[in-house]
Each structure stands twice: as structure tokens, then as C-alpha cells.
Amino acid sequence: MLKIGVLISGGGSNLQAIIDSIKADDINGEIVQVISNREKAYGLERAKNEKIPALFLSRKSCSSDEEYDGKIISIFKEKGVELVVLAGYLRILTPDFIKEFKDRIINIHPSLVPAFSGDGFYGSKVHEAVIERGVKITGATVHFVNEITDGGPIIHQSATGVEDDDTAQDVADRVLELEHAILPYAVKLFAEKRLKIEGNRVKILEGN
């Protein structure tokens, strides 16, 4: 059974999607630790409601990003975490963290990477940029994490149309539904050892 560590910053709806998939036996794994960098993140309550260890860890308690990430690394290693999931985590991981969990960190991003991704593109900013640019299709991407922001190998993507009268919130609502589907799917594939990284591409292997 895959041991999963989840990092969050907000409401935790993607965390809930993973929890629900595990409870439905779609994912052969368990979430052994949830950590938030924000004390009021509702995702912490979601975890506690499911009897999952949940912790708020303040960046202010550390002298550097490296020290902060070092604390998370220590907690995750103590719990035996095999996969780290960034489920709406609004911090950039340090190189030390990425090295420690190389090819074992996945992130969900609310656009079709590489469009509207990278430094500065997060949360509502992504959907506002989508509306401003006037694109006709957007979506969500789940990818492995490397040293380049949103630049890791893409695992899976899902798209939705953008209508002329859509607001950024309209787009955000539809994209979030896509996120709730493709993030648990990626975790499932990882748990089944069906993801093979070749360069900057991911191949999905046939299941048993």
C-alpha cells in the first residue's frame, strides 16, 4: 500500500478527492500525513475528519526555506512517505526537497501546461489570464515536480471549453472539477507503478 504525504494551503478539495478515491478502493494507498503552510486551511479539518494526521507548520518558525522544507522532509521520512502530492500548495519547493523525493512528487496545475504556467501563475491568476487572453480551451494538468516551476514531466491533462461570456470564476469552477478527476487518477497510476518517465515525457504503462 502506497504511503502518501499531502501538502496543502487552502480548502483541500483536491485532498478530499484523493481521500474519496482511497475510500472507494480506487487507489491502493493511504495518506499518512497532511501538512499545511497556512493555519486556517480547511484542508486540515478535512484530514482530521478522516482521522488523518494533520499539521500546520509555520514558515515564520524557520530561518530559511531550506530549514522549513527540511522539517517537512523529516516528518515525511519518519512516516515512510513514498509519494508527495501537492494539492493546492502555494509554495515553491527547495532543490533539497525535490532531490530528496526525486520523481516522487506530483502537482496539480489549473491550466493546460505549458500554457499559463510557471512563476506567477497560480490560483485565480491563471483563470484571469485565460479570460484576458481569450483562449477557447483551458484545463488542468497533473505533472511530476522538478526544479522548474510547472516544468516537470506531464502525467495527464483534461480540457474544457471557454465561452465568450465566462468569468474567471466560471472557468475556475469547471477546471476544479477536472482537477478532482485527474489528480486521484495520477495517484492511482503511481500506486500501480504504471508511470514511466523518459526524459521530459511520461508513459502510462498497461495495467495488469
Nearest Cα to 152, choosing from 161, 142, 162?
A: 142
pLDDT at site 196: 97
Between CA 182 and CA 142 the distance in angstroms is 7
Mean pLDDT across the stretch 129-150? 97
Output phi, psi for 158, to 5 deg. -145, 145
The pLDDT tens digits of the residues spanning 39-86 come to: 999 999 999 999 999 999 999 999 999 999 999 999 999 999 999 999
109, 143, 156, 180: which is the annotated catalytic residue? 109
| Strand arrangement, sheet containing 83-86 | 54-56, 29-36, 2-8, 83-86, 105-109, 137-144, 154-161, 201-204, 195-198
Between CA 18 and CA 183 the distance in angstroms is 7
Whether the predicted pLDDT of 87 surpasses 80: yes
- What is the pTM (predicted TM-score) of this model? 0.95
The pLDDT tens digits of the residues spanning 99-123 come to: 999 999 999 999 999 999 998 898 8
Average pLDDT in the chain? 96
Nearest Cα to 27, choosing from 54, 4, 50, 51?
A: 4
Judge contact between 142 and 156, C-beta under 8 A. yes
**Is the bond leading into 114 cis (omega within 30 degrees of zero)?**
yes
If you write DSSP's letter for every residue of 72-127 in order, what string do you get?
A: HHHHHHHTT--EEEESS--SPPPHHHHHHTTT-EEEEESS-TTTT-STT--THHHH
The DSSP symbol for 61 reads: G
Q: Is 127 among the residues known to form the active site?
A: no
Q: How confident is the model at residue 208 (pLDDT cuts 50, 70, 90)?
A: low
**Domains, in order of start, for the chain:** 1-102 (3.40.50.170), 109-208 (3.40.50.170)
Strands, E assignment, the chain: 2-8, 29-36, 54-56, 83-86, 105-109, 137-144, 154-161, 195-198, 201-204
Q: Which residues face 158 on adjacent strands?
A: 140
The pLDDT tens digits of the residues spanning 39-48 come to: 999 999 999 9
Judge contact between 9 and 90, C-beta under 8 A. yes
Judge contact between 78 and 4, C-beta under 8 A. no
Phi-psi region of 114 (alpha: psi -120 to 50; beta: other; left: phi over 0): alpha
